[in-house]
Amino acid sequence: MKAKHSFAHIFRAFAAISALTLLISCGGKAAPTGQTYAPGTYTASAKGYHGDVTVAVKVTKNKIASVRVLKHGETPGISDLAISGIPKAIVDSQSLAVDSVSGASFSSKAVIEATTAALKEAGADIEKLMVPGAAAEKEADVELSADVVVIGAGGAGMAAGVSAHQNGATVVILEKMAKVGGNTISAGGAMNAVDEGSETAIKNKDSVALHFKQTYEGGDKKGDEVLVKTLVENAWASVEWLQSMGMKFLPEPFTVTGGLWPRAHKPVDPVGTGFFKTYNAYIEANKGIEVRLNTKAEKLIVENGKVVGVIATGKTGNKITVKANKGVVIASGGFGQNVAMRQEFNKQWPTLDETIKSTNHPGATGDGIMMGREVNAAIVQMENIQLLPLGDPETGSLSGNIETDVEKRIYVNIEGNRFVDEGARRDTMTLALFNQPQKKLWIVVDAHSYPEGTVKNNFNETIDGLVADGRAFKGETVEELAEKIGVPPANLAATVAEFNKHVASKTPDAFGRTLYSVPLDKGPYYAGARVPTVHHTMGGIKIDAETHVIDVNGNVIPGLYAAGEVTGGIHGSNRLGGNALTDITVFGRIAGANAAQGK
């Protein structure tokens, strides 16, 4: 099978970005009627998500010849398609009226604005260039077949696809978005796993049994015990599986927000890009996996009670039918961006309407759950929707979060007062935040977290860059920091002093906090604003430990498997921080292997 949109194509940009230069040049269509330029190459910049994006635009008398991105600071793996695709779209259409890349809107906007400025300098009639180019012609309908069909090219889907192939299957992976990655590619990267018996686990007094206890009890004992056991007992083997394919992790585990224990393993590569570089390397080295982007799965094909394929729609509206010889895996993610579904099932939060943003990528709209319902799959625990107190006030994303680990930071409200145990469960912290003025907190850290301005947070952003962009604030003293963020200096100083007393004594404070390491006593000090944001939907399709989809009568649906956030019943009412990447890898591997073997 030959992929129309290969997964490798997406990451060619990743390598090019390291050189900070990417060239997209092609013939292009003729310029709009009457459009002329002063021939030459023009350079301009526009503000992206992480600073300026600079482009060079070459024009002839009547054509945009090329658009080059010379320099940018956008996040690799997330912005790649905008950095590569937007310039190509402008050249191909000879128009500035091109679509932004979902999930990379800031980067897309920056490339378009910088190109616009360059073309204006070249004497272009910008108004004419804002007319869309010709629409793409509808492509022919397509019929394909493979042993295993996977719906979704996020972390769970890619794990399932690679695992299925390792178990002898040919694979087609369908992804409705223009890029792979789902929520995983922009995740913080923390993956919980216990290497039981290792020096690290012994030092941290950690065990698989403790991981089970904290996961199960952290979800108020509402998770399926068998699924929780499967998760924790296969966690370290999944880390080793990734390592066997070349993925690298930092040597020491840490405590991620809401993780409750230092067992999160952080990839060397930024955010979630390491997972996809790993899967990409496997796919490039092996034949038999096709990844089709811009392909939206619409319906499961059922014959004689067995799921045997998927009907999908291509980018131009054409029908794509993929028959599965052995099995179909639904790995399409949750519904964090579907406001109607959030509101329909919400029982816990004051509101989950459009005023509450989400960390999720735009494609997290619950499609797989709805497809499962159409074939009588049981849907469980949809009311279990996790929020974080760590959303960017403008976008809801986790980027810009200045905390590096739980032990070294505090949360204060706009009055400069702490209001919660910062080492508590995620739901506990977020509910407390809903009760604060403006539903807003400030994370406060010091030079223990950022000894140099070039030190990066968990999202590959330097603290100097965040301060320069106005997304974080810096003060040489606690009082100076308080002035910059608009909280009473005396309150913040007293708050920090009281916190430091408990760091010294290692005793629980008024909020019950027990996780400490160093005091906040070393300038400069930093603060970043955060708000509640929808992070993870823990309800979905019911599965068993072998990832078979279970119907409303408690029976296995033949030929159908599911993994990742599209499933429900693993995490209960609250997911521990760091368990999501474990979930998608553990159950993605199981789903792929079982689908390949028809088990």
- The CATH code of the domain that includes 90 is 3.90.1010
**Where does a domain end: 76, 99, 129?**
129
**Where does a domain end: 94, 129, 164?**
129
The answer to whether residues 327 and 403 belong to one domain is no
Residue 95 neighbours by CB under 8 Å, 6+ apart: 32, 129, 130, 131, 132, 133
Question: What is the structure's pLDDT at 133?
Answer: 64
DSSP-assigned letters across all residues of 170-184: -EEEE-SSSSS-TTG
12 tagged catalytic: no
Q: What is the pLDDT along the chain (599 residues), one digit of tens a residue?
A: 333 333 333 333 333 323 223 333 333 444 454 688 999 999 999 888 777 899 999 999 989 999 999 988 876 666 777 888 899 889 988 888 888 776 677 788 889 999 999 999 999 988 888 877 666 688 999 999 999 999 999 999 999 999 999 999 999 999 998 889 999 988 888 999 999 999 999 999 999 999 999 999 999 999 999 999 999 999 999 999 999 999 999 999 999 988 999 999 999 998 899 999 999 999 999 999 999 999 999 999 999 999 999 999 998 899 999 999 999 999 999 999 999 999 999 999 999 999 999 999 889 999 999 999 999 999 999 999 999 999 999 889 888 999 988 999 999 999 999 999 999 999 999 999 999 999 999 999 999 999 999 999 888 889 999 999 999 999 999 999 999 999 999 999 999 999 999 999 999 999 999 999 999 999 999 999 999 999 999 999 999 999 999 999 999 999 999 999 999 999 999 999 999 999 999 999 999 999 999 99
Residue 134 belongs to a domain: no
Mark 139-157 as b/e (b = at least 16 C-beta within 10 Å): eeeeebebbbbbbbbbbbb
The answer to whether residues 16 and 118 belong to one domain is yes
The answer to whether residues 408 and 332 belong to one domain is no
Question: What is the structure's pLDDT at 590?
Answer: 98
- The CATH code of the domain that includes 303 is 3.50.50.60
Backbone angles phi, psi at 215, to 5 degrees: -70, -50
3-state DSSP helix/strand/coil % of the chain, to nearest 5: 30, 25, 45
Range of the domain at 58: 7-129
The answer to whether residues 170 and 285 belong to one domain is yes
Distance CA 41, CA 27 (A): 16
The answer to whether residues 548 and 502 belong to one domain is no
Classified as helix, coil or strand, 507 is coil
Residue 205 belongs to a domain: no
Distance CA 456, CA 393 (A): 20
Residue 212 belongs to a domain: no
Distance CA 440, CA 557 (A): 45
The answer to whether residues 548 and 585 belong to one domain is yes
Residue 140 neighbours by CB under 8 Å, 6+ apart: 318
Classified as helix, coil or strand, 98 is coil
**SS3 per-residue string spanning 345-393:** HCCCCCCCCCCCCECCCCCCCCHHHHHHHHCCECEECCCCEEEEEEECC
The answer to whether residues 431 and 464 belong to one domain is yes
Question: What is the structure's pLDDT at 555?
Answer: 98
Type of residue at 469: D
Residue 508 belongs to a domain: yes
The answer to whether residues 60 and 122 belong to one domain is yes
Type of residue at 135: A
Question: What is the structure's pLDDT at 187?
Answer: 87
The answer to whether residues 507 and 588 belong to one domain is no
The answer to whether residues 526 and 549 belong to one domain is no
Residue 218 belongs to a domain: no
**Where does a domain end: 505, 533, 561?**
533
Catalytic residue among 342, 409, 426, 575: 426
Residue 245 belongs to a domain: no
Classified as helix, coil or strand, 208 is helix
The answer to whether residues 581 and 478 belong to one domain is no
Question: What is the structure's pLDDT at 147?
Answer: 98
DSSP-assigned letters across all residues of 79-130: SHHHHHHHHHHHHHHTSS--PPPTT-HHHHHHHHHHHHHHHHHTT--HHHHT
Question: What is the structure's pLDDT at 40?
Answer: 95
Q: Which H or E run includes 312?
A: strand 306-313
Question: What is the structure's pLDDT at 404?
Answer: 86
Residue 472 belongs to a domain: yes
The answer to whether residues 543 and 512 belong to one domain is no
Distance CA 322, CA 311 (A): 6
- The CATH code of the domain that includes 432 is 3.90.700.10
Specify the number of domains making up the chain.
3
